[in-house]
């Protein structure tokens, strides 16, 4: 199995021959559906025997971890025990991997017990849909892959210079002007998710034990937003969503009195679509040339007695965070938010370099952090020298090297994630080629960081073909 369970106890060399599933005491029909669909996908429909499977709700006091779960396989059937719904989902996914190995090896399910829980709460995958737009079908498959690997945070990058991807009823021009771009060959490219489609994906993710965290990137990476509302820039311009990649000088004008009200209403509208207590506001790669030249931004700096433009970005972030906190949301930002004055309530997502300097700054400021250092966790990087992708190389072994305990103030680390930027990824096939098998390594390190690489690889080989019909 991947990730490897915390504890496995085998009862001799006996086996339970799997047959048609008969479920009892299931606390949620969605859990039964998840299990039955997976069971039928793996096991031949010609089975004539039956397998009894019972769900057992663990008492609160019985579990040291909220997502602790047990799998007991005996001669007379299978019992899944958990305290939480997520715990049951994790037990189901482990059982289905055991069933897959049994089916491949033409043998039964080994008798014994598994006791398991994750090492880290934040076990995430990111998907950039601004550079390329994939649609509901691909996103749902992405979520199913995450669920199998017990990854529980879907970081959804929904805005950038190249496209705005989420419907706003309060600010409709964001989709009318910002969701589509003109390509170099003259064609139009783009798309966006309606609010109903967002709700559908959020519900689907929840059924699979996954929380969806939206990202609206600001104050930089906002060309698509400025194409819709150009008056939010420091200076007039004919803004159009970009068809090329990079960091561009025009950003939101922090000195514009109208900006705060606009962003407050927009972010509250978006936040209401996502039950997650988190919302990501970007904060990365925001060049300050326009702010330095902008009279309104300079006036704001003087009025607030700020030191420089970095503190102006900090002020903007904190102002938006206070508004979102009233909705019960905690703000996440990329590690550039450490460059100004940072409030301890903000969560930092560490991405630059190896991340250790940023982790040190987080600890000094008492900020929780999430690890996604690009040298390890950027899945748009090539897996090997001849592979597809951009930038450098991050091999399977490199991803497996991630260990939050190696970072300063590791007690503040919530966990980690991998980021999949899509400048060079055009469709689902390319997406999965970059995702797998490296997502297995990420899942292993964030669930059970006490395993060895060779052991991991041997288990990975036994899962070949597992996703073919997922």
Quick: pLDDT tens for 63-89: 578 899 999 999 999 999 999 999 999
Instruction: Check residue 432 and give its pLDDT.
Output: 95
Q: Which of 326, 370, 324, 329 is nearest to 347 (CA)?
A: 370
Sign of CA pseudo-dihedral 86, 90, 95, 101: positive
Mean pLDDT of the chain: 95
DSSP-H helix ranges across 43-156: 85-104, 136-148
Judge whether 468 lies within some domain. Answer: no
Closest of 43, 44, 81, 83 to residue 60, by C-alpha = 83
For residues 223 and 302, state if they share a domain. yes
48 found inside a domain: yes
110 and 86 inside one domain:
yes
Residue 466, pLDDT score: 85
47 — pLDDT class (breaks 50, 70, 90)? confident
Domain presence at residue 469: no
Give the pLDDT band (50/70/90) at residue 217. very high
Each residue's pLDDT tens digit, 350-382: 999 999 999 999 999 999 999 999 999 999 999
In this structure, the answer to whether residues 228 and 331 fall within a common structural domain is yes
Residue 142 placed within a domain: yes
219 pLDDT above the threshold of 90: yes
Q: What is the DSSP letter of 45?
A: T
CB contact set of 157 (below 8 Å; sequence gap of 6+): 126, 127, 128, 129, 130, 215, 217, 421
What's the Cα-to-Cα distance from 441 to each of 149, 394, 400, rounded to whole Å? 10, 12, 5
Same domain, 111 and 174: no
In a domain, 236, yes or no: yes
- pLDDT for 13 equals 85
Residue where the block lists tokens 């509901």: 136
Question: Quick one: which of 68, 66, 93, 94 has its CA closest to 81?
Answer: 68
> What average pLDDT does the segment 148-157 reach?
98
Q: Which of 118, 119, 91, 97 lies closest to 109 in space, CA to CA?
A: 97
Residue 254 lies in a domain: yes
Q: Flag the least confident range among 9-23, 47-61, 413-427.
A: 47-61
Answer whether residue 61 shows pLDDT above 70: no
Judge whether 469 and 179 are in contact, CB under 8 Å. no
Judgement on whether residues 173 and 63 belong to the same structural domain of the protein: no
Q: Name the token pair of 85.
A: 């719904």
Same domain, yes or no: 185 and 81: no
What does the pLDDT average to over 161-178?
98
Task: Residue 421: give its domain's CATH number.
Answer: 3.20.20.80
| pTM of the complete model | 0.97
Q: How many CB atoms lie within 10 A of CB 368?
A: 19
Question: Per the domain annotation, does 333 fall within a domain?
Answer: yes
132 in the same domain as 100: no
Q: Which of these three, 86, 116, 146, is where a domain ends?
A: 116
Task: Kindly state the tokens that stand for 24.
Answer: 């009892």
**295-327 residue pLDDT tens:** 999 999 999 999 999 999 999 999 999 999 999
pLDDT band at 62 (very low <50, low <70, confident <90, very high): low
Note whether residue 340 is domain-resident: yes
**Bridging pattern class, strands 330-334 and 278-282:** parallel
Task: Give the range of the structural domain holding residue 72, as residue numbers without chain letter.
Answer: 7-116
CA–CA separation, 216 and 269 (whole Å): 12
Percent of the chain with pLDDT over 70: 99
Helix extents (H) in 134-256: 136-148, 173-178, 195-207, 223-228
| Alpha-carbon radius of gyration of the chain | 24
pLDDT of 63: 55
Q: What share of the chain is helix, strand, coil (3-state, %, to 5)?
A: 40, 25, 40
Question: How many domains, in total, are found in the chain?
Answer: 2
Please check whether residues 207 and 319 belong to one and the same domain: yes
91 and 204 housed in the same domain: no
Q: What is d(CA 178, CA 163) in angstroms, rounded to the nearest whole number?
A: 6
40 and 132 both lie in a single domain: no
Q: Tell me: the pLDDT tens digits for 118-132?
A: 999 999 999 999 999
> Given 100, 116, 132, which residue is the final one in a domain?
116
Catalytic residues: 160, 221, 285
Quick one: 102 and 176 in the same domain? no
What is the structure's pLDDT at 386?
78
Among candidate residues 85, 116, 147, the one where a domain is terminated: 116
Number of H helices, E strands in the chain: 16, 20
Q: For position 70, which CATH number holds? A: 3.30.379.10
Core vs surface per residue 376-414: b (16+ CB within 10 A) or e: bbbbbbbbeeeeebeeeebbbebbbebebeebbbeebbb
Tell me, yes or no, whether 312 and 450 share the same domain. Answer: yes
Q: What is the DSSP letter of 467?
A: T
């Amino acid at each position: 199995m991947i990730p490897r369970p915390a504890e496995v106890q085998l009862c001799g060399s006996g086996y339970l021959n799997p047959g048609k599933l008969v479920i009892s005491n299931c606390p949620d029909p969605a859990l039964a559906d998840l299990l039955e669909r997976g069971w039928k996908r793996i096991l031949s429909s010609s089975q004539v025997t039956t397998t009894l499977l019972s769900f057992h709700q663990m008492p609160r006091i019985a579990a040291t971890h909220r997502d602790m779960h047990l799998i007991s396989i005996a001669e007379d059937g299978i019992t899944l025990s958990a305290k939480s719904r997520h715990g049951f989902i994790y037990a189901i996914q482990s059982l289905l991997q055991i069933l897959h190995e049994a089916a491949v090896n033409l043998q039964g399910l080994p008798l014994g017990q598994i006791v398991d829980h994750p090492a880290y709460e934040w076990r995430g995958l990111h998907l950039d849909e601004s550079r390329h737009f994939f649609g509901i079908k691909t996103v749902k498959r992405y979520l199913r892959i995450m669920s199998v690997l017990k990854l529980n945070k879907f970081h959804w990058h929904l805005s950038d210079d190249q496209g705005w991807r989420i419907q706003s009823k309060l600010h409709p021009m964001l989709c009318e002007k910002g969701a589509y771009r003109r390509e170099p060959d003259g064609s139009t490219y783009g798309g966006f998710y309606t609010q109903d489609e967002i709700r559908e994906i959020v519900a689907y993710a929840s059924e699979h034990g996954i929380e969806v965290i939206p990202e609206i990137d600001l104050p930089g990476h906002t060309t698509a937003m400025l194409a819709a509302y150009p008056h939010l820039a420091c200076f007039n311009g004919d803004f159009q969503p970009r068809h090329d990649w990079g960091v561009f000088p025009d950003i939101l004008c922090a000195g514009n009195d109208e900006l705060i009200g606009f962003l407050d209403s927009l972010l509250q509208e978006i936040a209401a679509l996502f039950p997650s207590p988190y919302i990501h506001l970007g904060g990365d790669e925001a060049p300050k040339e326009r702010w330095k030249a902008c009279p309104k931004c300079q006036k704001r700096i003087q009025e607030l007695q700020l030191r420089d433009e970095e503190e102006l970005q900090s002020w903007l972030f904190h102002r938006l965070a206070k508004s979102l906190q009233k909705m019960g949301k905690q703000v996440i930002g990329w590690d550039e938010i450490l460059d100004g004055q940072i409030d301890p309530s903000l969560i930092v997502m560490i991405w630059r370099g190896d991340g250790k300097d940023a982790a040190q700054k987080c600890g000094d400021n008492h900020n929780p952090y999430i690890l996604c250092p690009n040298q390890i966790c950027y899945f748009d990087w090539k897996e090997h020298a001849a592979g597809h992708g951009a930038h450098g190389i991050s091999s399977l072994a490199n991803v497996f090297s991630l260990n939050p305990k190696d970072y300063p103030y590791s007690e503040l680390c919530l966990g980690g994630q991998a980021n999949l930027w899509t400048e060079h990824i055009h469709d689902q096939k390319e997406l999965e080629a970059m995702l797998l098998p490296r997502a297995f390594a990420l899942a292993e390190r964030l669930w059970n960081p006490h395993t060895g690489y060779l052991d991991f690889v041997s288990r990975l080989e036994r899962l070949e073909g597992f996703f073919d019909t997922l």
